[in-house]
Each structure stands twice: as structure tokens, then as C-alpha cells.
A and B are shown apart, each in its own frame.
Chain A
């Protein structure tokens, strides 16, 4: 590799040499570097490592799974601007997922699956690509199969209203990584929420058909809203230790915001009953529907077929 660029040819070559700064590149990751390189990942005093790791996984899985679903809209949205908007929302969530999964792995490597010897996959990718559906801790709202654009609008609205309310409080986390992810995430989620809220109002106030579709989507997704505010024992322990947020405590704040959107859209609060878990278990417990297994099969199959893949 030349040290000094002397010709146009060398300049051209530098695009590749730039990529080859490191020795081995895991073939399927989003990046080549540890997203937490140099970040203080010391576990705060009195915090149980497994609790912190599992809590970070929950938040990370929410964003990873939701990112994947929203990402499926890329090249399929009704127009170019919304295509880019949805792709950007997916990208923000993927960025959050990387940091959160990496944080989980740094807190307690027992959560990271063991890979075949010689695999260069970093821990965040081991977590994304080599876990089975029951190991995922995401809320079920994130994993549903995509519907029409109204469905995407309602799903992004419900997800981001809830997550923004959680992140506004998570900024106070004693864990430096979680507080930083939240401080950054708040800016991103506020945009996602406002984007979805404007479309919610637009579709509700549009044609009879757009209103019908919006309300159908809202009634279909509403049963999964209460699950977002259930307190899992890990969330309770993380909140108790000052690193996490008990979602039950932000329900009122989230519903106040949601009611503003409903009022502007002239849509009544849905009365559809909550979707129950299976023997009381829901997404946070690893209880998922078939859509997540199918999604993971597609997302993970290439990485699993080539666990040592490098380029």
C-alpha cells in the first residue's frame, strides 16, 4: 500500500486500501469497527451485569426488529420522499440497535452466542444473526408482518411515541452508554414520531378510503399497545438500579401525546382489547409469533451459512 498518493491511479486504489485498514472484515456486518471503541463501558456501582445486559438487549432487539420491518419499505413506499423517510427511520433504529447490542455484550458476554472457532463476527452481529426467536426480547408490535402504508404510519407512531417517552427518561440512566444512546435517540425518535403523526392526521382527514385504512390499521395494532407498558422483572430491576426505565411509569406521558394526535385526526381512542400473551408470556419473555421466526430466517440465513465469512 503506497504511503503517498502520487497519481490518479493511487487515489483510486485508496478507496480499497481505506477499507483494508483492519486485518479481517466480518462479511455481514454493518460496520467494521466496535461502535463502542473508547467509550466508558464500566458497569455502574451496584448494578447486576446480567440485568444491565438483558435490559440493553430488550431495547436493542426492539430497534433491530423494528428497523428490519421498516427497512422492508425501502423501494416499496408510495413515493420517493416517504421511501427515503422510512429508510432513514430504519437506519436510525439500526444505529441504536448496534450500540445497544454492543452494550449488552460488553456488560455480560454470557448473553452472546458462541460462534464457530475462527468467526470474525463482532458480538453485536453474533447477537443479531445467531440467536433464535425465543432469545429475542423485543415487544411484539415491532415484529408484525408489514401491511399497507397506513399500517406503517400507525406502527411507527405507536412505537416512537412509546420509545420516545422511555428515552426521555433513560437520558438520566447511570449507565453512560444507555444515557448517551437515549440522548441521541431522543432527537431521532422525535422526528420519527412527528413524521408518523403528520401522516396519521393526513390519512385520517384525507379520503374515505385513506381514513378507512388508517382506522383499520389503528384498530389492528392497538391490542399490542398495552404490552409496551408492562413491567418485566428485568425492567423493574434495571429501573431500581438507576440504569433503566420502568415503562409503566411513562404510560400517562405517552398517552397524552397519542391523544393529541387522535384529537387532531378526529379519531376515537380504540376499544379493541389487548392481545394476551401465551400463558402470560409476551415479547419481553421471548414469546413471539411466527412472523419473527420467518423474519429471522431471512435476515440470518446467509450469515449462519458462512459464520467465518470475510472479505
Chain B
């Protein structure tokens, strides 16, 4: 087992502070995008991230924010590497991240569907068991598969009538 050096630990803490530009209540660590932080030599940090969606426009911002935060914390050289495999899944959002989403009024994702083997055709709207993050009622209905961002669907609570976003399982 390799012991984490204090410098690595510090770099990790800084990297973990960086938040998602679209979901600012979530750190990249809670989102599961931050895969690894390592320090090579004295102050060269290597960060591995896994993209959420292939064309997610937030990825460039996340990358720049990581470089900016780590550079500001005194690390001379910051290298952000892309780790494509395994592909990101909403299952990687941590329990703390899920709690933060719910606290912000966003319904966290359920378990992601399996994507091994051929993926069967689905002609019906995606059925999800979504609870209202405001009142906790299970009586909710889908308004639109796309909410404030493409990775969220919009729902409405038929109990308290509040609309809310739900992070889609992928």
C-alpha cells in the first residue's frame, strides 16, 4: 500500500473543492468526475477526470477551474488528464453528493440502467420512481425529459405542485 504524501493530500483537498459549473452544490469529487489526484516531484500535480457526457460543455470549465485552483494553491504545474474508461455513470455520485442535490431541491438519480450487451428498445417514456425533493411525496409526474440542463429531466410534484429537476440516470 502506498501512503499518500502530505503534498498529495493537500492537492487532493484543493481539487476536491472544485465544483461543477452547472451544479455548484456538487464538488467534482462528489460528482464522480474526479478520478485521481497525484503529485509528481515537488509541485507537479496530475489530475485524472472522466467526462460526464461526450459533448458536455461544462468539461472545459471544470478543467480550467482545476488548473486555476491548483495553480492558485501554489502548484507550479498542473496536468489534467482524461480517463475515458470506464465511462462515467451517475452511480458514481457519492451519498454526500446525492444529499447535496436533494438539499438544493434537485432529485438525485436512481440506479443507472445496465448497458452491457445489446440495449433493448424502449418505446415508452422512461419510468422512474421520483420523489419530490421539497415535500418527499412519491406523487410526481414527468414534465419534460430535459430540464435546466440536458442531463436533467423536469418533473412536477402533484402533491405540493412544485416543479423540480431530476438528474437522469446514465
Instruction: Using CB atoms and an 8 Å cutoff, list the residues of chain A in contact with chain B.
Output: 3-5, 14, 17-19, 21, 30-33, 35-39, 80-81, 84-85, 87-88, 91-96, 98-99, 164, 168, 176-177, 179-181, 183-188, 190, 193-195, 197-198, 201, 253, 257, 260-261, 264
Query: Is B85 in the interface zone, CB < 8 Å from A?
Result: yes
Q: Is the interface of B mostly helix, strand, loop or mixed?
A: loop
Query: Is B54 in the interface zone, CB < 8 Å from A?
Result: yes
Q: In the complex the two chains form, is B48's CB within 8 Å of A81's CB? A: no
Q: In the complex the two chains form, is A35's CB within 8 Å of B123's CB? A: no
A17 to B65, CA, bound (A): 10
Residue of B54, B57, B59, B170 with most partner-chain A CB within 10 A: B54
Query: Is B128 in the interface zone, CB < 8 Å from A?
Result: no
- Chain B 122-136, CB within 8 Å of chain A: the 1/0 string? 111100000000000
Query: Is B16 in the interface zone, CB < 8 Å from A?
Result: no
Given A176-B84, A183-B86, 8 further pairs, Cβ under 8 A: A31-B59, A38-B81, A38-B83, A180-B85, A183-B87, A187-B170, A198-B123, A198-B124
| 10 cross-chain pairs, A with B, having the tightest CB-CB distances, nearest first | A38-B81, A95-B54, A95-B55, A180-B84, A91-B55, A88-B150, A84-B146, A180-B85, A184-B87, A18-B64
Q: In the complex the two chains form, is A38's CB within 8 Å of B82's CB? A: yes
Given contacts A32-B60, A33-B80, contact A92 B121 (CB under 8 A): no
Q: In the complex the two chains form, is A19's CB within 8 Å of B87's CB? A: no
Q: List 25 A-B contacts (CB under 8 A).
A: A5-B72, A18-B68, A21-B64, A21-B68, A21-B71, A37-B82, A38-B79, A38-B81, A38-B83, A39-B83, A85-B146, A91-B53, A91-B57, A93-B55, A168-B119, A179-B85, A184-B54, A185-B54, A187-B87, A194-B123, A198-B124, A201-B123, A253-B118, A260-B121, A261-B123
Given contacts A91-B150, A93-B55, contact A81 B119 (CB under 8 A): no
A146 to B108, CA, bound (A): 37
Q: In the complex the two chains form, is A96's CB within 8 Å of B54's CB? A: yes
Chain A-chain B contacts (Cβ-Cβ < 8 Å), number: 125
Q: In the complex the two chains form, is B68's CB within 8 Å of A14's CB? A: yes
Instruction: Using CB atoms and an 8 Å cutoff, list the residues of chain B in contact with chain A.
Output: 46, 48, 51, 53-57, 59-61, 63-65, 67-68, 71-72, 74, 79-88, 115, 117-119, 121-125, 144-146, 150, 170
- Output the nearest chain A residue to B117 by Cβ-Cβ distance: A168
A55 to B144, CA, bound (A): 37
Q: In the complex the two chains form, is A3's CB within 8 Å of B119's CB? A: no
Residue from A3, A32, A176, A187 within 8 A of B115 (CB atoms):
A187
Given contacts A21-B64, A31-B59, A88-B150, contact A193 B121 (CB under 8 A): yes
Q: In the complex the two chains form, is A176's CB within 8 Å of B85's CB? A: yes
Give the chain A neighbours of B64 by CB distance below 8 A: 18-19, 21, 32
Q: In the complex the two chains form, is A183's CB within 8 Å of B85's CB? A: yes
Give the chain B neighbours of A264 by CB distance below 8 A: 123
Give, as a whole number of angstroms, the nearest-CB distance from B50 to chain A.
9
Residue from A14, A95, A98 within 8 A of B53 (CB atoms):
A95
Give, as a whole number of angstroms, the nearest-CB distance from A84 to chain B.
4
Give, as a whole number of angstroms, the nearest-CB distance from A118 to chain B.
23
Give, as a whole number of angstroms, the nearest-CB distance from B111 to chain A.
14
Give, as a whole number of angstroms, the nearest-CB distance from B154 to chain A.
9
Give, as a whole number of angstroms, the nearest-CB distance from B153 to chain A.
10
Given contacts A18-B64, A38-B48, A198-B125, contact A190 B119 (CB under 8 A): yes
- Output the nearest chain A residue to B143 by Cβ-Cβ distance: A81
Give the chain B neighbours of A38 by CB distance below 8 A: 46, 48, 79-83
Q: In the complex the two chains form, is B86's CB within 8 Å of A94's CB? A: no
Q: In the complex the two chains form, is A88's CB within 8 Å of B60's CB? A: no
Give, as a whole number of angstroms, the nearest-CB distance from A196 to chain B.
11
Give the chain B neighbours of A197 by CB distance below 8 A: 121, 123
Give the chain B neighbours of A257 by CB distance below 8 A: 121
Given contacts A33-B80, A39-B84, A187-B115, contact A92 B68 (CB under 8 A): no
